[in-house]
Chains A and B, each alone.
Chain A
Amino acid sequence: MKGRSQVALTVVCLLLGWLLALQIRSTGNFATVVPDLRTSEMRVLLMDAMRQNQNLQEEVEGLRQQLSGYELAATRGEDALEQLHDNLEKARVLAGITAVVGQGLTVTINDSERAAAAADDPALFIVHDEDILKIVNVLRAAGAEAISVNGQRLLATSEIHCAGPAVSVNNTRIAAPFIVTAIGDNRALESALRMRGGIIETLSYFGIEIEIRLHERVVVPGFTRPLRFEWAEPVLGR
């Protein structure tokens, strides 16, 4: 009889210890996130600096070639027109008024299915303009070259703003599910989104549904509205 009670007590002690360790480990996780985040932040900064360096070098190379191209064209008149046409096409792509295609990913973001407990703030379980803004920002930081949200191409003048139950992008109301399409190195983009302590981890905590799909070819539409500057004009004489 004595032996059996010992066994029962031991088993319960084992269970208690196991649960205790699990609970400590899962709460302890939050403490370890910060230093990890710090190192990954530094890594991203370093990668960005290296990439920027490389881009600048490529730009120098490109400008040199362009210069020699102009010099050559100056000797032959008619080629200059063609070069101007090429440049115009490049400028259009850079301005975002033409649709572009390339390797990239789509991120689908939907409201949480989970019902909020009475004590919780229900606003935590739906997608906000800030969440999309953060995702777009992360994508841009990771080198996305063209981004659209629900078919709205993001330009330098685009806003992502709260509009009551919807979100306003390019002065167009859009609602969940939000589909962010980005062109760029899709593995780099994905890992930037999935970074520990990053945007995806934060949003999934509240049950916000996020799905990332990598594509070999994805189309980002062009900006469709008239693009006009009413107030700003270029500074001449520089």
Chain B
Amino acid sequence: MTAVAPVPRLIEQFEHGLDAPICLTWELTYACNLSCVHCLSSSGKRDPRELSTRECKDIIDELERMQVFYVNIGGGEPTVRSDFWELVDYATEHHVGVKFSTNGVRIDEAVAAKLAASDYVDVQISLDGATAEINDAVRGPGSFAMAIRALENLKNAGFKDAKISVVVTRQNVDQLDDFKALADNYGATLRITRLRPSGRGADVWDDLHPTAEQQVQLYNWLVAHGEGVLTGDSFFHLSGLGEPGALAGLNLCGAGRVVCLIDPVGDVYACPFAIHERFLAGNILSDNGFQNVWQNAPLFLELREPQSAGACGSCGHYDSCRGGCMAAKFFTGLPLDGPDPECVQGFGEPALAQDRDKPKSHLDHSRSGGRKGPVPLKLLAMPAKAPQKFCNESPV
């Protein structure tokens, strides 16, 4: 970071929002071969309204004009879109860098070689256990082997610095050193992020989220290994555990201020963990483009106003954690101007113990019948079902 003459703190500038996001998450499809129990976007089946290749390229053109430097592409499993590589190439040719998240299903030797030849594509392989046993309990049978095969292909092809992306859970928090060793073994960088109660994650959060003791363990591990490990700045709710600045990164909720989510049908949400009507800012197709939504959506203007500290106002740690994660509070049924459910001062626990109404998303693309292991996807034929079957409207 470049420090010069005194100006308002950068964090304050960010709270007022930027003219364009620094980066954004773009979920290209709700289709997925896996059925992870904590899926943020409740993915499984493709949505019939997903953006066409042309519509995606138009969005990339707009991102280039706005100088959005890179997009984090995810899903669903983005690589199952038949135009996935075409879109990746189009983005990088138009000065929009690509980082994509995958479970590895399509990263065979040929794809790994192609990726190794590109300078502007980053690959992130999702893995939620350093052993098959712990990983597959969350991500499904065979998913550990699939991810490892992808990492091997990338390494053998000479791809530099893949990312291994781990959602920290009660079951894998003791494996952080093992994940680091695994990453080192593949010449990869470890990225660990916070479990959010979003999407299907709402159903498993109570059982999977790290205990208060484990939060401290995680914090200490992060402070010790912070420089070599990526976090997507997702653990800012832990920053009250130590000195300000001990935790690397920007400790601020960037939702609608410096980040956002574009979903597979062109809906724009405040952040990737907030697929709910409450955080829906608009639609790129029907609201005159992404720039218009980013700069003028009433929701985003509201999020860029000073936020009330509410019940956290009297807490001495508010400056560190800023009340924590909006999505984590919302989907656990806690007030947005109160403590984070995993508040490190313990203020979340009594709130969680009370009667709560957990808001359900209006979207659920989960396959019916639950998980039976990896599903071979055939995306060319559209299911002969009425479209409304894809979107289970919740009455809540």
A, B: real partners: no
